[in-house]
Amino acid sequence: MDESNENIVNASESTESGNNESNLPDAKILEYFEEGAIAKKESYVKILLMLYELTKIDEELAEIDDEKGDLPVRIENLKERMAVVEVHLTEDKAKLKTFESEEKALNKENKNLDDKVTKYDESKYKAKNNKEYDEITKQIDAMMETTDKNDARLKELKSYQENLVKGILEMSKSYEELKAELKEDTSHLNSLNKQFEEEENELIEKRKVILEKLEDKHKTLYERINGSLKGEATAIVRKGNCSGCYNSVPPQREIEIRVAEDIFLCQSCGRIMIDEKLIENI
Ligand SMILES: [Zn+2]
């Protein structure tokens, strides 16, 4: 039991105990309670009207977002895709470089082996005996075997390189296309931002002023609903229906919403409910 209720109990006891002097205490208490109720009601009316005002502002902000359409999302998407292509390009260019150095080394080795084979070939005929001749032939064969192996690897490398170059060219092309698309979308968004900048800033400022007047719990509630229903966080109860989802509001709840001594959410769509009479004179 809170203090105010204790007061009323004590007051009625004192009147019941035969003090019929006057009805003043009761009247005073009644007045006190009525004032309290009125104050409470007024404060909720004020809160609801502020939330309604916020909805109007957010509705306009949502309209501006609509004008910008999916440009911000598209821009983010393009940037992400470009980043992915860039990673692949870097990887493939590095691979190509490795293959190129391997190719260079193999060609150099083959050139040396060819030179050596030519020299050995010449010396073969100067061999003093069969043994020496066989020895030279054996070495020439070994060198030629290495050259063959290198040639096979070079062939393999050539095909890898061709594929890589083809891929790099394709990726570079799509990277340039994405870049052009990004440039176009960004400049479009920039011009829209410029066009709406003033209006948007004014709305954001108005929004801030209202939010500062609200208690944290009401602010949080509003922002939560506005997060998923931008510009539609409040709904009007009109002829027993929620203006947000058109579902009917139970009669008892409708009365509570009209009395406006608390905040009620639509049981179907979760919007903050405001009685139509409350906004009649706005
Ligand atoms: Zn609803």
Q: What is the band of 14 on the pLDDT scale with cuts at 50, 70, 90?
A: very low
Distance, CA 234 to ligand 1 centroid (Å)?
A: 9
Instruction: Report d(CA 55, CA 278) in Å as an integer.
Output: 15
Q: What are the tens digits of pLDDT across the range 121-134? A: 999 888 899 999 99
Tell me if 17 is assigned to some domain.
no
**3 state DSSP class of 234:** strand
Q: Does residue 33 surpass a pLDDT of 60?
A: no
Q: What are the tens digits of pLDDT across the range 82-133? A: 999 999 999 999 999 999 999 999 999 999 999 999 999 999 888 899 999 9
What was the pLDDT predicted at 17?
A: 38
Distance, CA 247 to ligand 1 centroid (Å)?
A: 6
Is the domain of 84 the same as that of 110? yes
Tell me if 20 is assigned to some domain.
no
Distance, CA 237 to ligand 1 centroid (Å)?
A: 9
Q: Does residue 267 surpass a pLDDT of 80?
A: yes
Q: What is the band of 27 on the pLDDT scale with cuts at 50, 70, 90?
A: low
* CB 123 within 8 Å of CB 100: no
Distance, CA 253 to ligand 1 centroid (Å)?
A: 13
Distance, CA 238 to ligand 1 centroid (Å)?
A: 11
Assigned token pair, 215? 């208690």
Burial of 19 (0-12, 13-18, 19+ CB in 10 A): exposed
State how many domains the chain has.
Answer: 2
What was the pLDDT predicted at 18?
A: 38
Which helix (H) or strand (E) element contains residue 237?
Answer: strand 234-238
Tell me if 31 is assigned to some domain.
no
Instruction: Report d(CA 238, CA 259) in Å as an integer.
Output: 14
Distance, CA 233 to ligand 1 centroid (Å)?
A: 10
Assigned token pair, 191? 């011009």
* CB 211 within 8 Å of CB 54: yes
Assigned token pair, 32? 């006190």
Q: Per residue, what are the HEC states of 239-277?
A: CCEECCCCCECCHHHHHHHHHCCCCCECCCCCCEEEEHH
Assigned token pair, 176? 């340039």
Q: What are the tens digits of pLDDT across the range 204-237? A: 999 999 999 999 999 999 999 999 999 999 999 9
Q: What is the band of 264 on the pLDDT scale with cuts at 50, 70, 90?
A: very high
Find the helix packing angle between 216-228 and 24-68, rounded to 10°.
30
Q: Does residue 260 surpass a pLDDT of 80?
A: yes
Say what percent of the chain tops pLDDT 90: 80
Is the domain of 190 the same as that of 258? no
Distance, CA 219 to ligand 1 centroid (Å)?
A: 20
**Mean per-residue pLDDT over the chain, rounded:** 88
Tell me if 262 is assigned to some domain.
yes
Is the domain of 53 the same as that of 86? no
Is the domain of 48 the same as that of 155? no
- Report which of residues 23 and 239 the model is more confident about: 239
182, 211, 240: which is the final residue of a domain?
211
Q: H helices of the chain, where? A: 3-16, 24-68, 71-124, 130-213, 216-228, 251-259
Distance, CA 207 to ligand 1 centroid (Å)?
A: 23
What was the pLDDT predicted at 2?
A: 39
Q: What is the band of 280 on the pLDDT scale with cuts at 50, 70, 90?
A: confident
CA 205 to chain centre: 23
Q: What is the CATH number of the domain that holds 241?
A: 1.10.287.1490
pTM exceeds 0.85 for this model: no
164: containing domain: 71-211
Instruction: Report d(CA 124, CA 90) in Å as an integer.
Output: 50
Q: What are the tens digits of pLDDT across the range 178-204? A: 999 999 999 999 999 999 999 999 999
